[in-house]
A and B are shown apart, each in its own frame.
Chain A
Amino acid sequence: MNAPDRYERFVVPEGTKKVSYERDTKIINAASFTIEREEHTVGNVLRMQLHRDPNVLFAGYKLPHPLQYKIIVRIQTTSQSSPMQAYNQAINDLDKELNHLKDIFETYNQAVNYASLSNHSY
């Protein structure tokens, strides 16, 4: 009845940024990123990627509420890095990795397709 519209889940409303950054004042090299209209899919992947970074001391995310379609990612790094840097790096790495995955998949797919095609022709 008064459930939010479905598109609310993935359409970022006008005037809001997809990602916002807020430095944590109490802890050094710590910040929280609010990512709008995302949920565990991105949150967990991002967190695990951040965990791979040796400079990251803490990386966690949470969904504040099931009906608030955003996640909050908290990052704390060593002094060699900064949360923003770690975040960007993680995103880039993920991007690369996914692209790579996609490439492999496509190559393999083509190979299979080709094989099946050639099978057919015989």
Chain B
Amino acid sequence: MANEPNSSSSNKRFPKEIRLSGMKNEPEKIAAVSSLVGRIIEKGFAPATQNPHSLAPPQPTVLPFPVARHRSDGPHWAPLSHEGREEEPANDEADMNLDHQSAFAKPLKRKPKKDLDFSKWRELLPEDLVHKKMNPNYLQTLVGKRKGEDRSSLVSNGSRISNQVEDMEQSHIISSDVLNGASKDTGGGLLITETSNFKAERMDVDVETAPRKTENRWDSCPHENMESDMPSNSRDSTQLVSHDNRISSSLEDIKHSSIDSSHVFSRAPKDIGANKLVLEGRNFKPEEEGPLSSTDIDAENRALLQRMSREEIEEAQAEITKQIKPSLLEKLKERGRKKLEKESGNLPLQNASSSPDALSGGNDLSKISNSSSSAVKCGEDDSLRKPSSADEKKEDKNRYDEMDLKSSTPMVSRPVVGSSSWKSWSDRVEAVRALRFSLHGTVVREYPTQLPTETNSTIANSFLYNIGNVTERDFLRTEGDPGGAGYTIKDAMELTRSTIPGQRALALQLLASVLDQALHGLLVQNDGGREIGRSNYPDELVDWQAVWSYALGPEPQLALSLRMALDDNHVSVVLACARVIQRVLSYEMNEQFFDLTKLLTASVKDMYTAPVFRSRPEFNVGFLKGGYWKYSAKPSNMFPFKDNDVDDGNDEDHTIQDDVTLAAQDVVAGLIRMGILPRLRFLLEVDQIIAADECLLSILVALARHSPTCANAIVKCPRLLETIVNRFIKKSTMDISHADLKSVCLLRVLAQSDRNNCVYLIEHGIFQNALRHLYMHSFSLERWLTTDREQCKMISTMLVGQLSLWEVCINYGYCLTSFSDFFPAMSFWLSPLTLDRIMKADLFVEFSSVTRQAYLVLGALSARLPNFYSVEQAQDQIGDDLGNWSWNHVFPMVDTALKWVSLKTDICISSVLNRHVTSAGFVIQNSYRSSLIWVISAVLRMLSRVFEKIAPQEGVTYIKKNNIHISRLTELVFHVGLLIFENGILNASEVDKAGLAIRGHSFVQTLCSLRNDSDYETSLSSGCCLHELLQTIILVDKIMWSVKAENKKLGSIDGIGKEVVELLDGLTKWSQNELKPVLLMFMEHIASEWYIHDSFEMFGRGGPAPGVGLGWGAPKGGFWSRTAILCQVDARVITCLLQVLPIEVQEIDKLSHQDDEFLVSVAIPLQKLNAVFGICLVLGPRDSLMFESILSCVLLRVPFMKYLGLCVHHFLRKNKGMEYFCWVYKEDDYQKFSEVLNTHFRNRWLSRKTKSLDKAHNAVDNKSNPRQNQTKVGNLDTIYEETVDAPSSSAGNMQYITLQIEWANQRLPLPVHWFLSPLATVDATESIDVARSGLFFLLGLETMSSLCSENPSSPILQVPLVWKLHALSMVFLKRNDILEEKQTRDTFKTLQDIYGQRLDKLRQRRPVVVLENEKSSGVYGREILYFIKEVHESYGSFIEILIEQFSAVSYGDVLFGRQLGVYLHRTVEVPVRLLAWKALSNAHILELLPPINDCIGEIEGYLIPFEDNEEILEAYLKSWVSGDLDRAATRGSLSFTVTLHHLSSFLFFSEVGGEKLFLKKRLAKSLLRDFSRKTQHQGMLLKLIRYEPLMSRDGFGVEDIALDAQEVTRRLEFICEACDGSSSLLAEVDKLKSALL
């Protein structure tokens, strides 16, 4: 940058400073400034000075504080502020000095930084992944997207630059067009080169290989330079223009490459002149008029200019002026001037300064402001900021044309669904880098800027400060508001390592509040799901998801700083640090989540919170998504120093970098690895900071929830548990502190994670100590009322905690006998007798929380009841502690419980429910109602658990022993059944005549309306309650039926009356009319909800994932959001309801064969079907049992299969276009389908991954040869993405080993296209039946879905067509023989036809003209089927395999051919189409494709629009010339029609100029030359010339139509023209002419 001999230092000081600031702001671009002086960027530490733009920092009145830095921070021991000062000279002298020195300074080469700056996640990815990402196809799409991206990232300045880039790019496209096929790669490579330069992403592979192919004859500079030459032009121009040079050297750079290459490669030099003109004209424009360009580019270009000799420059200039038309020159000048004006209109600063450097500097200023305004407003004036706002954008179209809104305002959290690309996500996270937070954790937007009126240079000076003087902001000694400017997260990190304890504590508090805000922001954003941008409250504009990801991401190295801060000597720092860690682990939010899920019914298990990612889709499962989950950080990496750490002496193997890397993968794992546990123990044991106790225990709970490994580590950590027990559990006093609550919670979590932990707790008496309140107290109302409110709350929370600890033990089967001990204490809570007094004292919420928990415990106890009829009930008991609850206890408990259900008779309960004012006159609060509903649902749960044990089970032999019991129990059931009627829980109108039912609003209806309540708690509780109620009712019915069936002598039990007889018909039967609307309502809910899980795993490893902290930034929280919980409750209610109201049984009986009636009747079943599929998609890892039951009870039942068969039948009749085939499946077939699919789906989606082989192998290795393994111990192992998996059966065993579920090693939640798995899985062990059944199932589903026109949100139709087509292709790969039987062939063909129709529909819906912005985002033309983008990035190899199969064994099967034809469809993305064509051509089987009329979909789909992709056209030509098409021509197959159509229309119809014209001529020439060699091609060629694409008729390509002579002559003339006067070719044309005319 100092290489400007002619400009005085004073002249350029100002702009340079500003420019520098700009660079710092754009860290992405730093790489491009590699020649700048003094930019040492260290590995592992991001550029320290990235937030330079700010207000005047407080003027330091003292010397800067020395900053404590971490030892890994490199070798500068001098005070840090110098580092910054090098770049930002404080005064003139410094500036001068620097200038002198910098002349000698050697530019430092910056390490190439890959893709994303913010995330070293990328680097953590395994190698192959990165490579895959970098394959040419990917890059091509990158280039396609590049325009938009570049602009958004460079923003205002970028618009100019990217203009330039665009020009360069175009010139290269031209040049590559000029080149022959061989040089194709070069063109692409050059494009990529530029891209990568601008984004500072140097993709070495492509960049280096590409330019080498071209040969540079102009100058001898090595070709690697080309990449750096490209972007440098603008700088050159800047300088040259200032010297009144008209032509810049940059032009030459481009010319060198492109002209040279064209010289080298082109065979027709004549054409080049024109091309060159275009090329240079385009290039010329920005140089001529626009000296404003990025200085980044400048810097490198200058160096190059120096290398060029005077003569070379002159030569180049002469060349250019010679070649450009004067008129063109004028035009370009004019255009450039206009642009300049526009630009300067927006940039007042720019006008002020006149020198080119100043201009560029000003430009940079605008760059800063634009890019940073997205994050935080910086210290520039407002006019600079505004251009980035959306309004301005519209006005200034030229500049902000394609600016990506998202990246220009990344703070706004937009719905992520549409923009799921990694890029936009990274932009969002990247923006957080610049966010500044106040001490309260809010974002500082507007600085209290006191914009000085001095000269610009001092503004710049005073605004700039670097990281060093963050520490200079001394709250005690500086004037003004030192914290006012706010701190970035990196600032805070820096401060945590300050030498001043106060600063450390401050920084940590700042972090804590930022994370706090982020958590709450996440919660709001997750739950609300509303358009956040509209809100007025500014902080909701912050993209908290990105903030959270950034903070926990790799760059700030949060875990490391926290771990060091925890070792601090100062209590305040430790305390603050503990709070930060608690936030990082998102303890509170997670606890809230778990408290809610605990209330859900289906599973007793909790989930671990460790972040996970999904393994990549594999070939042998057809690339279907939804692989096994894996931990982001390998569990074994958490403990590198197992046993042999002290005396090994290989310390150097472990670096802190390993810790940091691990922490970047997973914060918790990193903390554990860095030894947080011993430190926590020390703090608890020795320091005993009372204030920190609660916090530390919370941390422990959160750690224990992380993963089994972590929980185990806590248990194993010596003395940790003992310390906690001694300090908090084994107290003699009864008073309760918050820490005590947390300690009980910790015990519960630990017990949950492993059965052995539970045993440990019981054996060591810890359990008894923890539950001391239950032992000692006998609660009474008076006491409860007299204690003060706070204490009440504490006691109730404590009791809930203790009871849930007990519940855990009960679930394992321990401590059942403690019931008699605890009952006295519990009895107070169980009965609603004292309710009115409690409500009067306003303690109902506390009271009910304990009651609810008590009933949950009773429910757990009931689950341990011996089965009533079971033979083995005596043998069931294992050991002393393990046992069953006794039936003797049940009856009194049930009696008490039923009091809660008597909704009508109990005044208190009914008043709460109906929100009446009670007699006492106080108003019932909203929370009362939800609390009461929770209690009722817990009561109902207990009842249903009891009934489950009474209900007859299949396959169990009944023995009639406890006859007394039986009669008593049945009586009990009757009693409950009657209660349900009496209290209006169900409004059974039919029972009216018996006088049982009470008119009015039934409880079920109330619950339904409450489900729609805006209050979350209320709607969740009512949903749960409804589910429990339904379960109870179903069970009651079941028992009734069995009684009716088994026990004919009713009189003996019947003491109640004839109502009972009615009851025996079943509650559900009576209440069907009531339940139907309920079902409808919930189906609507699920239809709108199932989307939420759709996008939360979109990034794979390294992206937001389920795990710590509300889903770790997954969009809308993923499974960790409260919406998800609600969703699952809905799912449960629906599954229950579907048991009562199954999908089809009623309908199937009265099915008429009248089509119309059938079509009407299909609507409701279809809605149910969609709901079921919706449910399948929202199932979480805990719900595997539910998935099984859905499969076997709903989806794959034989009647439903039959129903699907009927649907197909009707569909075929309705659609006349389809071939009607006789549908002859029989009962046996359906039975078989059901069985086969059931096993398949279970194995495929529910199998858990067994321990991977390599792990076991490693274990063996460790034992056998420890010496060999020693070196490996410390290093981080990589996680293998693909490991062998073996299916294992999932058994619902009552003897739990653990009560927590890992996300890892299982597959749920399902991907949307899960039902395609029978087709797509290639598994040799699977029988052929699987695919056969899968085909039938799929056809059934598809026909059923398409029978009904209005079903908007069907998950079946939502699966992209690409996936379905792909699944069909997989069938061929799997077994060719499947398609040999007639029936399956018909099924398959129908499916193909259906998809063809759908494809046509999609095609017609697409606009003909593609919008500009769509184009930039990678959507070209009319493409719909993105196989590479959607299915797998290496889809090409799949196609090759498929085609090989086709060529080897298919006998040219028509179905197979049709399937392959799809890949040539015009809507398929270009790379796939090209690959498919080439593969077919190489295998010489083009002729095997069926004629175009037989192909899938309409003919137009293959022909319209005309092909304009040159690569594909060349491929067509190649096949033509090589003779591969000869047989295709005689057979009239698809391939020939397509070639004929596209070649002919390209040659004779397309209106193209420039490079395309050249291509056109070349194609024509090649065809002629081929004709001259192979006379047998005459027929084909004549066809080509005569070809007339007719749109109006029913067919395309009516070949032998009599063209009028004029048209033929026109075409021949064109061919003549293409011959370029070659006599031999003209002779051929004459031959043709004679044949034609």
Residues of A within 8 A of B (CB): 24, 26-27, 30, 48, 51, 57-58, 60-62, 72, 74, 76
Establish whether residues A24 and B1451, one from each chain, have CB atoms under 8 Å apart when the complex forms: yes
Residues of A within 8 A of B1030 (CB): none
* From B1380, B1447, B1451, B1484, contact of A30 by CB (8 A): B1451
Q: How far is the CA of A14 from the CA of B1447 in the complex (A)?
A: 31
With both chains docked as a complex, state the minimum distance between the C-beta of B1379 and any C-beta of chain A, in angstroms.
10
Chain A residue at smallest Cβ distance from B1444 = A62
Residues of A within 8 A of B1449 (CB): 60, 62, 72, 74
Residues of B within 8 A of A30 (CB): 1451
Residues of B within 8 A of A72 (CB): 1449
Q: Which of B1309-1367 contact A (CB under 8 A)?
A: none
Q: How far is the CA of A50 from the CA of B1444 in the complex (A)?
A: 17
Q: How far is the CA of A62 from the CA of B1380 in the complex (A)?
A: 19
Establish whether residues A58 and B1450, one from each chain, have CB atoms under 8 Å apart when the complex forms: yes
Q: Which of B1473-1497 contact A (CB under 8 A)?
A: 1484-1485, 1488
With both chains docked as a complex, state the minimum distance between the C-beta of B1532 and any C-beta of chain A, in angstroms.
14
| Interface mask (B1377-1410 → A, CB under 8 Å = 1, otherwise 0) | 0001000000000000000000000000000000
Residues of B within 8 A of A57 (CB): 1451-1452
B656 at the interface (CB under 8 A from A): no
Q: How far is the CA of A76 from the CA of B1449 in the complex (A)?
A: 10
Chain A residue at smallest Cβ distance from B1448 = A62
Establish whether residues A58 and B1448, one from each chain, have CB atoms under 8 Å apart when the complex forms: no
Q: How far is the CA of A24 from the CA of B1377 in the complex (A)?
A: 12
Q: How far is the CA of A4 from the CA of B1450 in the complex (A)?
A: 30
With both chains docked as a complex, state the minimum distance between the C-beta of A30 and any C-beta of chain B, in angstroms.
5
Chain B residue at smallest Cβ distance from A57 = B1452
Ranked nearest first, the 9 interchain pairs of A and B with the lowest CB-CB distance are: A62-B1448, A60-B1448, A58-B1452, A58-B1451, A60-B1447, A76-B1451, A27-B1451, A30-B1451, A74-B1449
With both chains docked as a complex, state the minimum distance between the C-beta of A98 and any C-beta of chain B, in angstroms.
20
With both chains docked as a complex, state the minimum distance between the C-beta of B392 and any C-beta of chain A, in angstroms.
63
Establish whether residues B1484 and A51, one from each chain, have CB atoms under 8 Å apart when the complex forms: yes
A26-B1380, A57-B1452, A58-B1452 are known; give 20 further A-B pairs, CB within 8 A: A24-B1451, A27-B1451, A30-B1451, A48-B1484, A51-B1484, A51-B1527, A58-B1450, A58-B1451, A58-B1488, A60-B1447, A60-B1450, A60-B1485, A61-B1448, A62-B1449, A72-B1449, A74-B1448, A74-B1449, A74-B1451, A76-B1451, A76-B1452
Q: How far is the CA of A33 from the CA of B638 in the complex (A)?
A: 59
With both chains docked as a complex, state the minimum distance between the C-beta of A35 and any C-beta of chain B, in angstroms.
14
User: Can you offer 9 A-B residue contacts whose CB atoms are under 8 A?
Assistant: A24-B1451, A26-B1380, A48-B1484, A51-B1484, A60-B1447, A60-B1448, A61-B1448, A62-B1448, A76-B1451
Residues of B within 8 A of A60 (CB): 1447-1450, 1485
Q: Which of B1427-1465 contact A (CB under 8 A)?
A: 1444, 1447-1452
Residues of B within 8 A of A26 (CB): 1380
Chain A residue at smallest Cβ distance from B1377 = A26
Chain A residue at smallest Cβ distance from B1381 = A26
Q: How far is the CA of A108 from the CA of B683 in the complex (A)?
A: 94
Residues of B within 8 A of A58 (CB): 1450-1452, 1488
Q: How far is the CA of A72 from the CA of B1448 in the complex (A)?
A: 9
Chain A residue at smallest Cβ distance from B1452 = A58
Chain A residue at smallest Cβ distance from B1483 = A60
Chain A residue at smallest Cβ distance from B1485 = A60
Q: How far is the CA of A26 from the CA of B1450 in the complex (A)?
A: 12
State which size class the interface on B falls in: 10 to 19
- Of listed B1449, B1485, B1488, B1527, residue having the most chain A CB within 10 A: B1449
Q: How far is the CA of A51 from the CA of B1444 in the complex (A)?
A: 16
With both chains docked as a complex, state the minimum distance between the C-beta of A81 and any C-beta of chain B, in angstroms.
15
Q: How far is the CA of A62 from the CA of B1373 in the complex (A)?
A: 14
Residues of A within 8 A of B1380 (CB): 26
Q: How far is the CA of A10 from the CA of B516 in the complex (A)?
A: 74
Q: How far is the CA of A26 from the CA of B1444 in the complex (A)?
A: 22
Q: Which of B389-421 contact A (CB under 8 A)?
A: none
Residues of B within 8 A of A48 (CB): 1484
Q: How far is the CA of A103 from the CA of B234 in the complex (A)?
A: 67
Q: How far is the CA of A27 from the CA of B1448 in the complex (A)?
A: 16
Residues of A within 8 A of B1451 (CB): 24, 27, 30, 57-58, 74, 76
With both chains docked as a complex, state the minimum distance between the C-beta of A83 and any C-beta of chain B, in angstroms.
11
Residues of B within 8 A of A62 (CB): 1444, 1448-1449
Residues of A within 8 A of B1448 (CB): 60-62, 74
Residues of A within 8 A of B1527 (CB): 51
Q: How far is the CA of A99 from the CA of B720 in the complex (A)?
A: 87
With both chains docked as a complex, state the minimum distance between the C-beta of A64 and any C-beta of chain B, in angstroms.
10
With both chains docked as a complex, state the minimum distance between the C-beta of A70 and any C-beta of chain B, in angstroms.
14
Q: How far is the CA of A51 from the CA of B1484 in the complex (A)?
A: 8
Q: Which of B970-1018 contact A (CB under 8 A)?
A: none
With both chains docked as a complex, state the minimum distance between the C-beta of B581 and any C-beta of chain A, in angstroms.
54
Residues of A within 8 A of B1450 (CB): 58, 60
With both chains docked as a complex, state the minimum distance between the C-beta of A33 and any C-beta of chain B, in angstroms.
12
Residues of A within 8 A of B1444 (CB): 62
With both chains docked as a complex, state the minimum distance between the C-beta of A41 and any C-beta of chain B, in angstroms.
16
- Of listed B1444, B1450, B1451, residue having the most chain A CB within 10 A: B1451
Q: How far is the CA of A76 from the CA of B1448 in the complex (A)?
A: 12
Q: How far is the CA of A61 from the CA of B1380 in the complex (A)?
A: 19
With both chains docked as a complex, state the minimum distance between the C-beta of A113 and any C-beta of chain B, in angstroms.
33
Chain B residue at smallest Cβ distance from A51 = B1484
- Of listed A26, A57, A58, A72, residue having the most chain B CB within 10 A: A58
Q: How far is the CA of A57 from the CA of B1452 in the complex (A)?
A: 8
With both chains docked as a complex, state the minimum distance between the C-beta of B1484 and any C-beta of chain A, in angstroms.
6
Q: How far is the CA of A60 from the CA of B1451 in the complex (A)?
A: 8
Residues of B within 8 A of A24 (CB): 1451
Chain B residue at smallest Cβ distance from A73 = B1448
Chain B residue at smallest Cβ distance from A25 = B1380
Q: How far is the CA of A34 from the CA of B854 in the complex (A)?
A: 75
Residues of B within 8 A of A61 (CB): 1448
| Interface mask (B547-572 → A, CB under 8 Å = 1, otherwise 0) | 00000000000000000000000000
Q: How far is the CA of A68 from the CA of B985 in the complex (A)?
A: 71
With both chains docked as a complex, state the minimum distance between the C-beta of B723 and any C-beta of chain A, in angstroms.
57
Q: How far is the CA of A24 from the CA of B1380 in the complex (A)?
A: 11
Chain A residue at smallest Cβ distance from B1524 = A51
Q: How far is the CA of A76 from the CA of B1453 in the complex (A)?
A: 11
With both chains docked as a complex, state the minimum distance between the C-beta of B1388 and any C-beta of chain A, in angstroms.
15
Q: How far is the CA of A48 from the CA of B1488 in the complex (A)?
A: 14
Residues of A within 8 A of B1484 (CB): 48, 51
Q: How far is the CA of A108 from the CA of B1484 in the complex (A)?
A: 32
With both chains docked as a complex, state the minimum distance between the C-beta of B1451 and any C-beta of chain A, in angstroms.
5
Q: How far is the CA of A57 from the CA of B1450 in the complex (A)?
A: 11
Chain B residue at smallest Cβ distance from A61 = B1448
With both chains docked as a complex, state the minimum distance between the C-beta of B1269 and any C-beta of chain A, in angstroms.
25
Residues of B within 8 A of A76 (CB): 1451-1452
Q: How far is the CA of A74 from the CA of B1485 in the complex (A)?
A: 14
- Of listed B1380, B1448, B1452, B1488, residue having the most chain A CB within 10 A: B1448
With both chains docked as a complex, state the minimum distance between the C-beta of A112 and any C-beta of chain B, in angstroms.
29
Q: How far is the CA of A61 from the CA of B1483 in the complex (A)?
A: 11
Chain B residue at smallest Cβ distance from A29 = B1451
Q: How far is the CA of A27 from the CA of B1454 in the complex (A)?
A: 12
With both chains docked as a complex, state the minimum distance between the C-beta of A57 and any C-beta of chain B, in angstroms.
6
Residues of B within 8 A of A51 (CB): 1484, 1527
Q: How far is the CA of A24 from the CA of B1448 in the complex (A)?
A: 15
With both chains docked as a complex, state the minimum distance between the C-beta of B346 and any C-beta of chain A, in angstroms.
66
Chain A residue at smallest Cβ distance from B1382 = A26
Q: How far is the CA of A26 from the CA of B1384 in the complex (A)?
A: 15
- Of listed A24, A60, A74, residue having the most chain B CB within 10 A: A60
Q: How far is the CA of A48 from the CA of B1444 in the complex (A)?
A: 14
With both chains docked as a complex, state the minimum distance between the C-beta of A116 and any C-beta of chain B, in angstroms.
34
Q: How far is the CA of A26 from the CA of B1451 in the complex (A)?
A: 11
Residues of B within 8 A of A27 (CB): 1451
Q: How far is the CA of A76 from the CA of B1454 in the complex (A)?
A: 14
With both chains docked as a complex, state the minimum distance between the C-beta of B1486 and any C-beta of chain A, in angstroms.
11
